[in-house]
């Protein structure tokens, strides 16, 4: 009799679970159907974090453009190679009485002020300054990055010569009402200004690059009534670095008779000073602020370290492939071409993302995913702040989110939502993501 009752209870429990699953699927389908977002442009995968059991899925095997949630895939393998105690480092060495060498570390946080500190080790009789830029390949944009994003400060060029976030700071100063504003360029990087900014009653300035004249020609239009600071991506990182270093040396009364010489550090070089920044800062910026410059640099550096070579796109992707193989994840259908997700050549599936999250549920890097109120989630899903950790992604026609959710009933899930819909607004796509996550939180 007891065995029969236990058997009956098991059947009843299974029926309840089946009913819950059907109800959840019906609710999710209803939300999607009423969202106005094209259903075929949506891919969803939700799985139990502990068992891997599918809770809900839609187009989960279709290859989609991931945008910045790709950082969830590329960052843990990179940090495993570099180590969580890794430091970006830029050093200065003395070779002989009159020769010094800067060894670049592609530090995405290096500033002109840091450069000045390193340069303080040079002597007034310095004759040669060498630069070891061998840490990264010369390529300074990712595969498939869009040329018309040239002025987007969120995706600047990057390479061994990273300096000042690879952005040129300009200040636009008002003059007399109705007259042209004044443009100040403290970096001394050579730029041609087509200045059409008028001193008026409001600040409204737009800056574009005018390649019909020169790739250093900037057209500035609009109005100003108080000083405005704008940033322009550097289009030649080595040139910007050289100019800033030359200016720094001139400030210290050091004048060279020849240009900087590209060379490699040798064993007899004596270290004098170094500037470092911790990788922990990079992890926060990549996951919380979706920093593309830092993500790309970190992945390339990992590739260089693992394969004892220059940091390259190819080596960075090999690090990801090797990590997947070790974790038992089949990534053969995926296409990963950069570290950040900026390229629209990247293709992943939501099913793979949730499998990756499940395999990495105890990963110390992903434990630092932002919660609502932080980073790109600053204004999203605040009522479930303590229950959600996720990475967002946004590109033209693309919105995505992936991470971990603990529901109202204390059940834990890995989820991924990717929407590739040129007919919907970013706001509509992100609202749909929020509704689906809220439904998951409340119902399961």
The CA distance from 193 to 220, in Å, is 7
Are residues 9 and 69 located together in one domain of the fold?
yes
The CA distance from 17 to 250, in Å, is 74
Q: What range defines the domain where residue 140 resides?
A: 88-277
Are residues 144 and 108 located together in one domain of the fold?
yes
Are residues 118 and 27 located together in one domain of the fold?
no
pLDDT digits (tens, 9 = 90+) for 19-62: 455 677 788 898 999 988 999 999 999 999 999 999 999 999 99
pLDDT digits (tens, 9 = 90+) for 196-229: 999 999 999 999 998 888 888 999 999 999 999 9
Domain final residue, candidates 233, 252, 277: 277
pLDDT digits (tens, 9 = 90+) for 326-378: 999 999 999 999 999 999 999 999 999 999 999 999 999 999 999 999 999 99
Supply 437's token pair: 């996550």
Are residues 32 and 99 located together in one domain of the fold?
no
Q: How many domains does the chain have?
A: 2
The CA distance from 151 to 162, in Å, is 17
The CA distance from 220 to 210, in Å, is 10
Are residues 11 and 92 located together in one domain of the fold?
no
Which residues are within 8 A (CB) of 140 and not within 5 positions of it... i.e. 6 or more apart? 157, 158, 159, 237
Are residues 213 and 314 located together in one domain of the fold?
no
Domain of 291: which CATH number? 3.40.710.10
Domain final residue, candidates 277, 299, 315: 277
The CA distance from 341 to 356, in Å, is 16
pLDDT digits (tens, 9 = 90+) for 61-98: 999 999 999 999 999 999 999 999 999 999 999 999 89
Are residues 310 and 235 located together in one domain of the fold?
no
Q: Are 417 and 403 within 8 A, CB to CB?
A: no
Are residues 121 and 15 located together in one domain of the fold?
no
Domain final residue, candidates 255, 277, 299: 277
Q: Are 429 and 76 within 8 A, CB to CB?
A: no
pLDDT digits (tens, 9 = 90+) for 401-426: 999 999 999 999 999 999 999 999 99
The CA distance from 119 to 163, in Å, is 14
DSSP secondary structure letters along 274-336 = EEEEEHHHHHHHHHHH--HHHHHHHHHHHHHHHTTS-B-HHHHHHHHHHHHHHHT---TT-B-
Q: Are 267 and 276 within 8 A, CB to CB?
A: no
Are residues 327 and 250 located together in one domain of the fold?
no
Are residues 271 and 299 located together in one domain of the fold?
no
Are residues 115 and 160 located together in one domain of the fold?
yes
Are residues 46 and 173 located together in one domain of the fold?
no
Neighbours of 168 (CB within 10 A): 20
Buried-state track 352-380, b at ≥16 Cβ within 10 A, e below 16: bbbbbbbbbeebebbeebbbbeebbbeeb
pLDDT digits (tens, 9 = 90+) for 260-276: 999 999 999 999 999 99
């Amino acid at each position: 009799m007891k065995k029969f009752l236990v058997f009956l209870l098991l059947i009843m429990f299974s029926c309840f679970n089946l009913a819950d699953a059907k109800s959840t699927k019906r609710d999710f389908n209803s939300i999607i159907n009423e969202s106005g977002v094209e259903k075929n442009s949506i891919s969803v995968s939700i799985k139990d974090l502990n068992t891997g059991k599918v809770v809900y899925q839609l187009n989960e095997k279709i290859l989609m453009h991931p945008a910045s949630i790709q950082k969830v895939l590329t960052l843990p393998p990179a940090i495993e190679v570099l180590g969580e105690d890794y430091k970006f480092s830029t050093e200065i060495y003395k070779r002989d009485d009159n020769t010094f060498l800067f060894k670049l570390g592609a530090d995405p946080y290096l500033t002109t002020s840091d450069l000045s500190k390193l340069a303080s080790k040079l002597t007034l009789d310095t004759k040669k300054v060498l630069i070891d830029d061998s840490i990264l390949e010369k390529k300074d944009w990712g595969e498939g990055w869009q040329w018309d994003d040239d002025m987007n400060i969120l995706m600047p060029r990057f390479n061994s010569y990273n300096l000042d976030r690879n952005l040129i700071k300009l200040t636009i100063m008002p003059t007399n009402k109705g007259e042209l504003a004044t443009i100040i360029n403290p970096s001394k990087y050579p730029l041609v200004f087509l200045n059409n900014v008028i001193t008026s009653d409001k600040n409204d300035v737009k800056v574009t690059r005018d390649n019909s004249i020169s790739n250093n020609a900037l057209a500035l239009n609009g109005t100003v009534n108080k000083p405005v600071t704008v940033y322009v991506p550097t289009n030649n990182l080595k040139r910007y670095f050289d100019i800033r270093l030359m200016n720094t040396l001139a400030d210290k009364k050091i004048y060279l008779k020849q240009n900087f010489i590209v060379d490699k550090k040798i064993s007899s070089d004596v270290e004098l000073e170094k500037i470092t920044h911790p990788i922990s800062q990079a992890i926060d910026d990549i996951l919380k602020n979706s920093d593309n410059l830092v993500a790309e640099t970190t992945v390339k550096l990992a590739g260089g370290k693992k394969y004892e070579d220059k940091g390259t796109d190819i080596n960075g992707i090999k690090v990801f492939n090797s990590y997947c193989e070790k974790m038992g994840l089949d990534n053969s259908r995926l296409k990963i071409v950069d570290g950040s997700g900026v390229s629209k050549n990247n293709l992943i599936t939501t099913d793979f993302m949730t499998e990756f999250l499940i395999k990495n549920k105890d990963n110390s890097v992903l434990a630092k995913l932002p919660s609502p109120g932080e980073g790109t989630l600053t204004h999203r899903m605040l009522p479930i702040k303590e229950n959600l950790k996720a990475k967002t992604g946004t590109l033209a026609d693309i919105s995505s989110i992936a991470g971990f959710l603990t529901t109202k009933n204390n059940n834990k899930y890995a989820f991924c939502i990717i929407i590739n819909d040129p007919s919907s607004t970013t706001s509509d796509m992100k609202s749909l993501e929020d509704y689906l996550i809220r439904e998951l939180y409340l119902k399961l």
